[in-house]
Amino acid sequence: MSNGPTGEMDEDLRLREGGAEASLWWTQAPPMEGERPGVIGRFSAGTESEASAVLARACAELKARGCTLAVGPMNGNTWRSYRLVTETGGEPPFLLEPVNPSEWPAWWRAAGFGPLAEYYSSATEDLVTKDARVEAVAARMKAAGVTVRALRPEEFEAELERIYDVSVESFRSNHLYTPLPKEAFLAQYRAMREKVRPELVLLAEDAARLAAGYVFAVPDYAQAARGETVGTVIVKTLAVLPGRQYAGLGAWLLAEVHAAARGLGFTRAIHALMHETNKSRNLSAHYARTIRRYTLFSKRLAEGVAK
């Protein structure tokens, strides 16, 4: 199995059952302590019976390969598309989020899958209010030589490399984390270059001019596709290096990107696709309300493996 130019992994097996399809990964599935997980992704089905058939076969194939847990939907790893929208909240889809028919979660549950992890997106119309800690954090960071600046478009490749370095350190302890080669990461973000507003991508640097954190936000161009004025900005990723010296940096970056968005005329921000235990969700709770919920499912195939 190999990684494509954007990190898309070739599946180990492609399944078709009637009008339903799914891909399986087991040789490079995300690690889980005490488990041998197998991944089900690229799922589609038109009826519950089709979904039942393809998911049953997927579980049988993964179990035959020694997997103890089936996880999905996930296109190989968490760097690619994964999760199902389980509560829409009445909001139209926004840029970069997964979209699926409303029946699919029930079909996965009927096939014996239950929640493995829950995720949320939140929205706020308040781009002015700051977390009460932010001013003190900003003063402490500046005294330590940490500064925040906008992305330099003339150095786009070098800026992406700085973002990559922070990402791999910040996300290393995340649920279901798998390493991603630098070139695959860069290819994903290069594909978004035309959508980037440099003022909405902020990098924090320490006194040695090494990146310590970043926030990556983009306008919600899905609004334009619906014929609406683009008034919303999507806060896609917020990442900070581990270490006590950077405590509070995420709150500062979030406040700064809100201010930048307001200065550009945006009136609303969506904090996108946060894991239920993610620190970003704790920050978002100070500003925003939940508008969407997502679920990553799993199904027990065999007893877990010894540690």
Q: How many residues does the chain have?
A: 307
Which residues are paired to 70 by β-bridges? 38, 299
**Under 8 Å between Cβ of 6 and 191:** yes
223 DSSP assignment? H
* CA 61 – CA 55 distance, rounded (Å): 10
Does the pLDDT of residue 194 top 60, yes or no? yes
Q: What angle do CA 282, 285, 291 make, to 5 degrees?
A: 120
pLDDT digits (tens, 9 = 90+) for 220-255: 999 999 999 999 999 999 999 998 899 999 999 999
- Say how many C-beta atoms besides its own lie within 10 A of residue 113's C-beta: 24
Q: Which letter, b or e, does each residue of 261-297 get, where b requires 16 or more Cβ atoms within 10 Å of its Cβ? A: bbeeebebbbbbbbbeebebbebbebbbebbbbbbbb
**Residue 261 CB contacts under 8 Å (≥ 6 apart), including other chains:** 127, 200, 217, 233, 269
pLDDT at 130: 78
Element (H, E) at 2: none
Q: Do domains 13-118 and 127-286 have the same CATH topology?
A: yes
Segment among 62-71, 101-110, 127-136 with least mean pLDDT: 127-136
pLDDT in tens, 253-273: 999 999 999 999 999 999 999
Identify whether the C-beta of residue 219 lies closer than 8 Å to the C-beta of residue 232.
Answer: yes
Domain range summary for the chain, segments of one domain joined by +:
13-118, 127-286
pLDDT in the model for residue 282: 56
Q: Indicate the pLDDT class of residue 117, thresholds 50, 70 and 90.
A: very high
> DSSP letters along 238-284, please?
EEE-SSGGGTTHHHHHHHHHHHHHHHTT--EEEEEEEETT-HHHHHH
Q: What is the predicted pLDDT for the residue at 145?
A: 94
Percentage of the chain lying above the pLDDT 90 cut: 84
Rounded CA-CA distance 182/10 in Å is 18
**CATH superfamily to which 127-286 belongs:** Gcn5-related N-acetyltransferase (GNAT) (3.40.630.30)
Question: Residue 286 — very low, low, confident or very high, per pLDDT cuts 50/70/90?
Answer: low
| pTM of the entire predicted model | 0.90
CA gap 213, 210 in Å, rounded: 9
Q: What is the pLDDT of residue 10?
A: 83
Q: Check residues 281 and 168 and name the one with the higher pLDDT.
A: 168
CB of 155 within 8 A of CB of 298? no
H or E stretch at 9:
none
Each residue of 14-51: pLDDT tens digit? 999 999 999 999 999 999 999 999 999 999 999 999 99
Residue 92: name the closest of 226, 214, 186, 192 by CA: 226
Range with lowest mean pLDDT among 129-138, 181-190, 237-246: 129-138
Q: What is the pLDDT of residue 304?
A: 79
pLDDT at 70: 98
Place 1 in a pLDDT band, splitting at 50, 70 and 90. very low
Phi, psi of 17 (to 5 degrees): -130, 100
- Residues 101-111: pLDDT tens digits? 999 999 999 99
CATH classification for the domain delimited by 13-118, as one of 1.10.10, 3.40.630, 1.20.1280, 3.40.1710: 3.40.630
CA distance 165 to 186: 11
Cβ contact 2:34 at 8 Å: no
3-state secondary structure 154-204: HHHHHHHHHHHHHHHHHCCCCCCCCCCCHHHHHHHHHCCHHHCCHHHEEEE
Helix boundaries (H) for 46-103: 48-64
CA dist 278 and 174 (Å) reads 8
- Residue 285 is predicted with a pLDDT of 60
- Mean pLDDT value across the chain: 92
pLDDT for 227: 96
